[in-house]
Amino acid sequence: MTAVRTPTWPGCEMTEQVPVVVIGGGQAGLAISWHLVRDGIEHVVLERETATHTWSSQRWDSFCLVTPNWQCRLPGYHYRGPDPDGFMVKAEILGWLTGYVASFGPPLREHTAVTSVRPSEGASGFDIVTTGGAIHADQVVVATGGYHSPAVPRFAERLPSTVTQVHSSSYRGPDQLPPGAVLVVGTGQSGAQIAEDLHLAGRQVHLAVGRAPRFARRYRGRDVIAWMHDTGHYAKPVTDKPVEERTQDKTNHYVTGRDGGRDIDLRAFARDGMVLHGRLTGIADERFAFADDLAANLDAADAVYNGINSLIDDHIASHGLSTDDGPSRYAPVWQPGDETGLALEEIASVIWASGFHRDYRWLHAAVFDGSGHPQHLRGVTDVDGLYFLGLPWQHTWGSGRFAGIELDAEHIAEHLRARYWRHAPALARAGRAG
């Protein structure tokens, strides 16, 4: 890298010149770095923590993938282990990603936070402020994902100090919590799996059930994800969806890969002693307030479950396939009764499985809509040289997951290469000037 004197903003004396800066050193940032290393394009990958931080520090002890191992595909590095139809546990995920870093040696700068990115005034490229110094880049890839800061409702402030509060990203296991009943708020993948984790440990669990859908782990002899892959459903681009459904904020279907994979059936949890409530709407008069929507939310999740199985049946019929077992529909094993309410004093801990906020306050570029969503086409923005990678539903269902990052990274890499070689003479002159 070449450091040249280019005072592009007050207080800046030495600015490092780098053709491409990748912000975020998780799987998305590493995936694009693989292409750049292969193509001999000078770049750096800036990571606020470590490359495996999200997996090591923001996942509970019993965490495992919910997508089968054969879908773990990063550029130049596909899962080759002994259990392609299994689900890697936390330690195995960390080992697999560590192996990826070692396989090609990305120019990774860990513990380097980016505090500002803005298009350069009067010149092409971007001015970047980091905790390690100032950088000017011709191109920038934002690979920080779509989940930045834990989201907790403001009414959580009404809980007394005697109630332990933990966001799902900080939950590690049942022993982390004090004795007593636990309220888990939210039934996306994290909430449903954490509720199961506590339930299996013998804890009394109350679960505030939201509108998350679900699907079967296996159907007619195969993993449902394998069936849906064969139908081409996961390859459909987000642009094929109605505009109102093209959001990064959709809650994922709940299922688990634990113990080899199985359904998560909230009704079965309730049958076996877990207490289900509707959505948590507030805290008042020393009580938790829940919406009267538990039955509707359970019915809607089951409808998605059965609908996906019906899609698989249609695929089987249209291709004349032979399967091990016949079609079936989920039959509810429990029905909710009247809401009994819940006093604050009955709960010792609350797990907020309430998602995350986006935080792009450091990115000063005209690429956001009124809700703060980045606007792009397959990660390419209208700001020349600025790209996103690793967003949920960036292009397909697999975007943001191990299943789809490989194709998304290849698409962004094509744009990076084309622009890099168009600008290579100017970049070379800038380097010589330093």
Q: pLDDT-based confidence at 401, cuts 50/70/90?
A: confident
Give the length of the chain.
Answer: 434
CATH number for the domain that contains residue 21: 3.50.50.60
- Residue 120 to residues 10, 112, 286, 380, 392: CA-CA distances in angstroms? 13, 21, 54, 19, 29
One domain for residues 34 and 100: yes
Tally of structural domains, the chain: 2
Name the residue among 154, 292, 278, 288 with its Cα closest to residue 208: 278
Q: Is 375 helix (H, G, I), strand (E, B) or coil?
A: coil
Residue 56 has pLDDT above 60, yes or no: yes
Distance in angstroms (rounded) separating the CA atoms of residues 116 and 113: 9
- 204-247: pLDDT as tens digits: 999 999 999 999 999 999 999 999 999 998 888 888 776 656 66
Distance in angstroms (rounded) separating the CA atoms of residues 370 and 380: 19
Last residue of a domain, one of 304, 324, 355: 355
Distance in angstroms (rounded) separating the CA atoms of residues 297 and 276: 11
In sequence order, the β-bridge partners of residue 288 are: 283, 342
- 128-176: pLDDT as tens digits: 999 999 999 999 999 998 888 999 999 999 999 999 999 999 999 999 9
Give the H or E element holding residue 276. strand 275-277
Distance in angstroms (rounded) separating the CA atoms of residues 41 and 28: 17
Name the residue among 359, 346, 353, 358 with its Cα closest to residue 166: 353
In one-letter notation, the amino acid at residue 329 is R
Distance in angstroms (rounded) separating the CA atoms of residues 106 and 45: 7
One domain for residues 38 and 107: yes
- 177-212: pLDDT as tens digits: 999 999 999 999 999 999 999 999 999 999 999 999
One domain for residues 204 and 333: yes
Which pLDDT does position 7 carry in this prediction?
39
Residue 10 has pLDDT above 50, yes or no: no
Q: Work out the average pLDDT over 245-270.
A: 87
Q: Work out the average pLDDT over 260-284.
A: 97
Residue-number span of the structural domain to which 143 is assigned: 2-148+358-433
Structure tokens at 175: 């022993």
One domain for residues 203 and 94: no
Last residue of a domain, one of 328, 355, 382: 355
Task: Determine the Cα angle at 292 with ends 291 and 297, to 5°.
Answer: 90
Q: Work out the average pLDDT over 240-257.
A: 74
Q: Is 43 helix (H, G, I), strand (E, B) or coil?
A: strand
One domain for residues 330 and 376: no
One domain for residues 172 and 104: no
Structure tokens at 243: 């505009």
One domain for residues 230 and 318: yes
CB 110 within 8 A of CB 47: yes
One domain for residues 366 and 301: no
One domain for residues 403 and 257: no
Last residue of a domain, one of 308, 325, 355: 355
